[in-house]
Amino acid sequence: MSRREIAAAVTRALEGVVNPATGQDVVAGGQVAEVAVDEEGRTRFAFSLRKGDPGALVRQARAAAGSVDGVSSVKVDVQLPQTPPGGTKTPAPPGRQSRGAPAGTVPERPPRRGLQPGSVPAPVPQPGILPGVARIVAVSSGKGGVGKSMVATNLAAYAASQGLATGLLDADIYGPNIPTMFGEGRRPAVTGEKGSEMIVPLQAHGVSLMSLGFLLEREQPAIMRGPLIAGILKQFMEQVAWGDLDLMIVDMPPGTGDAQLSLVQTVELDGALMVTTPQKVATGDVRRGVKMFERVNTRILGIVENMCGFRIPGSGEVVDLFGRGGGEELAGELSVPFLGRIPLDLAVRQAGDDGRPTVVSAPGSPAGRSLAGIGDRLLAALGGLPPRR
């Protein structure tokens, strides 16, 4: 079959995908454009996702195209609905008044619709943001308390131990945990000329760290809404002297809200790693988290199952407190890689409280070993991706 015939067959297959929000098929509804097939059968098309469309629609379209004879792979350029002009604005950074707003004030009304899934502008990789950073990976989940910060901390420390220049950005604006997990309470230094100051990340266990926790007074609650979160994340990327990094890990807050969406709009991610605990209630939240990232066209690098199995001290017995296998099952169901499972381990809790990542403090512990294995698989997966820019 010629490329043209394959493209025609792909379009016919896409005509079989009906958008339940409109009752129309996605081709007739004008949601598909630029269907192209190369010599190897690699197929690509643009898909405009509209407000109210189910998150699974792109996946269905991709599957329909992938089932056509002669198609070897499918890449979908998802175009998201645009927010009203004005979008997310960054508060003027301290010392820089060029946008006309006094430092520390919110420059303009937030967009009315806010950053709701479905009303998100397509991620626009902003040239010039983190130019020296080769890879950026978000550690996320749909759910709180599943071990995101623990995994982010350990993967960053592990990558650093493997000789990679590594940064860890704590995007949990509401409850920054990275300072505790790294045992860091210092205030970061500021360098540069007046008007273009940069914050110098702290260094701990070979990792460059930045967290709002380093800047706030102790116990000061961070009361912030979406637009401000976006502003802070952007400032953490633009006004922190990260320098050249092989890898930046971003520790996300729980949920699928403003911070996740702001991040994908600020910077082009290489992908997201999702953490779950094994039980059904957690995997349900994580499934939503995966879909949110897919919806904004962010690759899922894999799922990690945490708090799986507890070895009772003094006996060999292992108890699966939260069940087992939920994360692996979910990875299979969503066709994303399963990167491994981490047992419930006293060494982890201890390490977290002592401010030392487990891969450093207890590399031989069951959790330390599995975290290193997950780190290896993550680094291998990143090695196979095209360069960020």
Ligand X SMILES: Nc1ncnc2c1ncn2[C@@H]1O[C@H](COP(=O)(O)OP(=O)(O)OP(=O)(O)O)[C@@H](O)[C@H]1O
Q: Measure the CA–CA gap between 329 and 331, rounded to whole angstroms.
A: 5
Looking at the Cβ atoms of 47 and 322, the one nearer to ligand X is 322
Provide the token pair at 280. Answer: 């059904």
Residue 60 CA to residue 92 CA, distance in Å, equals 42
Should residue 345 be labelled a site residue for ligand X when binding is judged by CB under 6 A? yes
Q: Give the binding site for Mg ion (CB under 5 A).
A: 148-149, 177
Q: What is the Cα Rg of the chain in Å? A: 22
The residue among 177 and 276 lying less far from Mg ion, judged by its C-beta, is 177
We find the least distance from the C-beta atom of residue 156 to Mg ion, in angstroms, to be 13
When asked if residue 264 is in the footprint of ligand X (CB under 6 A), the reply is no
CB of 289 to ligand X, least distance (A): 11
Which residue lies nearer to Mg ion by CB, 147 or 231?
Answer: 147
d(CA 273, CA 300): 6
d(CA 151, CA 158): 10
Instruction: Count residues near ligand X (CB under 6 A).
Output: 22
Q: Which 163-182 residues touch ligand X, going by CB under 6 A?
A: 172, 175, 177
Beta carbon nearer to Mg ion, 119 or 277: 277
- Give me the residue whose beta carbon is nearest to ligand X: 352
Instruction: List Cβ neighbours of 42 (8 Å cut-off, separation of 6 or more).
Output: 72, 73, 75
Q: Which of Mg ion, ligand X, none sits in contact with 348, Cβ below 5 to 8 A by type? A: ligand X
Pairing assessment for the beta strands 300-311 and 318-319 based on DSSP bridges: antiparallel
Query: Residue 368 binds what, of ligand X, Mg ion, none (CB under 5 to 8 Å, by partner type)?
Result: none
Q: From the list 42, 187, 349, 389, which residue makes contact with ligand X (rule: CB under 6 A)?
A: 349
**Min CB(134)–ligand X separation in Å:** 25
Instruction: Choose which of 140, 154, 306, 365 interacts with ligand X (CB under 6 A).
Output: 306
Contact string 101-140 vs ligand X (x = CB under 6 A): ----------------------------------------
| Contact partner, 146, from ligand X, Mg ion, none, Cβ < 5-8 Å per class | ligand X
Query: Interface with ligand X includes 146 (CB under 6 A)?
Result: yes
- Smallest distance from the beta carbon of 170 to Mg ion, in angstroms? 8
Query: x/- string (CB under 6 A) for ligand X, residues 359-378?
Result: --------x-----------
Q: Tell the smallest beta-carbon distance from residue 85 to Mg ion (Å).
A: 34
Q: d(Cα 339, Cα 381) in Å, to the nearest integer?
A: 10
- For residue 44, the cross-strand partners are 36, 75
Number of residues in the chain: 389
211 binds ligand X (CB under 6 A): no
CB-nearer residue toward ligand X: 58 or 274: 274
Which position among 147, 201, 227, 326 is part of the footprint of ligand X (CB under 6 A)?
A: 147
Task: Considering only the stretches 87-95, 182-190, 312-320, 346-354, report the one whose residues sit in contact with ligand X under the rule CB under 6 A.
Answer: 346-354
CB of 251 to Mg ion, least distance (A): 6
Q: Which does 154 bind (CB under 5 to 8 A by kind): Mg ion, ligand X, none?
A: none
Residue among 131, 90, 104 nearest 232 (CA)? 90
Question: Does 156 interact with ligand X (rule: CB under 6 A)?
Answer: no
Smallest separation (angstroms) from ligand X to the CB of 115:
19
Q: Which two tokens stand for residue 150?
A: 């623990």
Chain residues that interact with ligand X, rule: CB under 6 A: 141, 144-150, 172, 175, 177, 253-254, 306-307, 342, 344-345, 348-349, 352, 367
